[in-house]
């Protein structure tokens, strides 16, 4: 007959082990909760700053800014009439057009924005694709010409801004203020633009493609806002000096 021997653990020892395990679990879950809370805070802070600091400024009447309200972004332009707004499967809305690029137009140029530390960023002419470059909307004026040179770029949360990464390059576009300079080099010529104003528009607002007035030489920069989302669009309108 087999002999079975049973031993009994010390209750105090078992209790001590259980307390240690619970303590470790609490520390681990506390760490996860702290990490999660920090991540949420990081994500919400730019929205809060945008909502309470930046948006009220951008929502001020245009009449308070240097450009007369009667001349701002007239929708009457032949380019705007050719533009359609489409939505991709992810819900992102963007402009497209039936315009056929002119072979005589240059392929690209560079854009520099000293305040944002953007140096010689490449802008493709007559393009709506801007993952690896900025894009001058098809048919819009070339820099230096009468009309509106309309440029689009990507943005993300400001903490991920990288002036050399085209997927984040316009993340700090809201930081531009009236009087800031933008430089463009195209076909061996350098042009200087100065920021006139900035405003928030709906993704379907094609009037932003039009120049300020019939004879003005403007350059407009556009990106998605609030930071890290594509709910609205922000345009920064500049004039050649």
Do residues 52 and 128 both lie within one domain? no
pLDDT number for residue 73: 38
pLDDT number for residue 121: 98
pTM value is 0.70
What is the rounded distance in angstroms from the CA atom of residue 209 to the CA atom of residue 96?
Answer: 12
Report the domain count for the chain: 2
What is the rounded distance in angstroms from the CA atom of residue 100 to the CA atom of residue 103?
Answer: 9
pLDDT number for residue 175: 92
Domain extent for 134: 65-240
What is the rounded distance in angstroms from the CA atom of residue 148 to the CA atom of residue 151?
Answer: 9
Helices and strands (H, E) in the chain, number of each type:
3, 10
What is the rounded distance in angstroms from the CA atom of residue 91 to the CA atom of residue 80?
Answer: 22
Q: What is the CATH number of the domain that holds 225?
A: 2.40.260.10
pLDDT number for residue 204: 87
pLDDT number for residue 98: 75
Whether 1 is covered by a domain: the verdict is no
pLDDT number for residue 118: 97
The segments of the chain whose pLDDT lies below 70 read 1-11, 13-14, 41-81, 84, 86-94
Whether 152 is covered by a domain: the verdict is yes
Do residues 221 and 190 both lie within one domain? yes
The answer to whether 79 and 138 are in contact (CB under 8 A) is no
As a whole number of Å, the CA-based R_g of the chain is 27
Do residues 97 and 203 both lie within one domain? yes
Whether 3 is covered by a domain: the verdict is no
Do residues 29 and 117 both lie within one domain? no
Domain end among 59, 74, 89: 59
pLDDT number for residue 25: 78
Which runs of consecutive H residues, i.e. helices, occur in the chain?
Answer: 11-49, 55-58, 78-81
The answer to whether 125 and 134 are in contact (CB under 8 A) is no
What is the rounded distance in angstroms from the CA atom of residue 5 to the CA atom of residue 146?
Answer: 99
């Amino acid at each position: 007959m087999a002999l079975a021997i049973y031993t009994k653990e010390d209750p105090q020892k078992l209790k001590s082990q259980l307390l240690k395990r619970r303590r470790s679990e609490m520390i681990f879950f506390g760490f996860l909760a702290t990490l999660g809370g920090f991540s949420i805070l990081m994500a919400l802070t730019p929205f809060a700053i945008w909502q309470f600091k930046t948006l009220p400024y951008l929502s001020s009447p245009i009449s308070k800014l240097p450009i007369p309200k009667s001349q701002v972004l007239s929708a009457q332009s032949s380019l705007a009439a050719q533009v359609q707004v489409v939505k991709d499967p992810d819900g992102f809305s963007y402009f497209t057009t039936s315009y056929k690029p002119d072979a005589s137009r240059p392929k690209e140029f560079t854009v520099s924005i000293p305040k944002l530390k953007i140096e010689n960023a490449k802008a493709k002419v007559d393009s709506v694709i801007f993952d690896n470059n900025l894009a001058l909307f098809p048919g819009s004026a070339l820099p230096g010409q009468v009309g509106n040179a309309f440029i689009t770029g990507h943005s993300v949360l400001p903490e991920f801004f990288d002036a050399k990464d085209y997927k984040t390059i316009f993340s700090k576009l809201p930081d531009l203020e009236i009087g800031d300079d933008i430089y463009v080099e195209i076909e061996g010529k350098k042009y200087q633009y100065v920021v006139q104003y900035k405003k928030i528009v709906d993704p379907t607002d094609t009037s932003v493609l039009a120049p300020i007035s019939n004879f003005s030489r403007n350059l407009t920069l556009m990106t998605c806002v609030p930071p890290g989302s594509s709910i609205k669009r922000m345009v920064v309108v500049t004039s050649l000096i």
